[in-house]
Amino acid sequence: MNSLPKSLPDLNNLSLAEQVAQMVVVRASGYLFDHQIQYPIWEPPAQQLQRWLQELGIGGVILLGGSAVELALRSKQLQEWAKIPLLIAADIEEGVGQRFAGATWFPPPMALGAIAQNDPEPALQYVRTMGEITATEALAIGINWILAPVVDVNNNSQNPVINVRSFGDNPQIVSQLASAFIEGTRPYPVLTTAKHFPGHGDTATDSHLDLPILPHSPPRLATVELPPFTNAIAAGVDAIMTAHLLITAWDDQHPATLSERILTQLLRTDLGFEGLIVTDALVMGAIANRYGADEATVMAVEAGADILLMPVNPETAIEAVCQAVEQGRISRQRIQASVERISRAKRKVGYHSQREGLDEHSTAQQIASLQNPLSQQ
């Protein structure tokens, strides 16, 4: 195997195509072998994935499937393949064990929100510890980007996609518990993510399938949907994931993921967020079925997204964004701003440890040694 760089290169020195590739996060199986792939539509075989990481310089992967010990091997393999150290993400809203067998699996956030209604202090401590254990276990198996907490205020009982993933229907409780989770992760070199901006809780449509519409007025949005995000920003959240929904009061033409008014004006300027803006998965029907796979990636970058999560075709997505830059539709400075934010994020997670610090032989023992106070109550 060719020797690999031991440190993060200066991303400012990359070609345009390499910089855009750093903005792309692809889906990959958590298993080591192709015959174990569970979702072949989204998860490429090893040869293709290795080429994306080595030749294109893809910036990150999101993993699903396998045990915690298998994932330690898998994440090490992916980092060895990578041209540039990776962000390795997972949807671990209920702890690492939610996705990877052998690690801690916590109750759904809504259960913790229910506890907080009557007994807030223990609930806050529970969630703070949940964040700490999730960060510790994630790092033990090579995950450096936690796609949690969900900060949507779930005040629609018919919500088919958020539901128990939310801390509940009270903006104050959601804000407090989400901030506690972020605080619990703070001592550890991992990224956290508040989602789904600017609020996916009051919808009855699944954005995996179609485009939800949120018809509320700006005052209502400011008092219900936005407070958990402003509190998460104050707590130091590293990334904010966008929502694939139409908020007519702010932009009646573009869903939030593709709206410059919402991502750049509201989130960046009005709320002062300086971290990563990551799209929700671009393969989801609300976006891919309406705007076209490659056009959606260009529109997301125009709107202000730094990370393109799961574009339908990563190679053509990179080409489309590069073409938009060459044609003057997107400025090179716009790409540069995202690359600088990605570089800061990768420096925070400690790229040295992600390449060299994983020891698959001790992973199971490390996870087993952790104490979960929630299970001791």
Which residues carry out catalysis?
208, 280
Rounded Cα distance between 280 and 54, Å, is 25
Q: Are 144 and 349 in contact (CB under 8 A)?
A: yes
Reference 27, options 14, 41, 17; nearest CA is 41
Q: Which amino acid is at 15?
A: S
Query: Across the strands, what pairs with 150?
Result: 195
Rounded to the nearest angstrom, the gap between the alpha carbon of residue 225 and the centroid of all alpha carbons in its chain is 19
With b for 16 or more beta-carbon neighbours within 10 A and e for fewer, the 110-139 pattern comes to: bbbbbbbeeeeeebbebbbbbbbbbbbbbb
Q: Is 287 helix (H, G, I), strand (E, B) or coil?
A: helix
CB contact set of 372 (below 8 Å; sequence gap of 6+):
104, 129, 133
Token pair 């830059």 is found at 325
Where do runs of H (alpha helix) occur along 186-292?
A: 218-220, 227-235, 260, 285-291
Rounded Cα distance between 89 and 27, Å, is 9
Cβ neighbourhood burial of 256 (10 Å; 0-12, 13-18, 19+) = buried
Reference 142, options 91, 70, 93; nearest CA is 70
Rounded Cα distance between 50 and 78, Å, is 8
Cα dihedral: 278, 283, 284, 285 (round 10): 140
Reference 338, options 125, 74, 60; nearest CA is 60
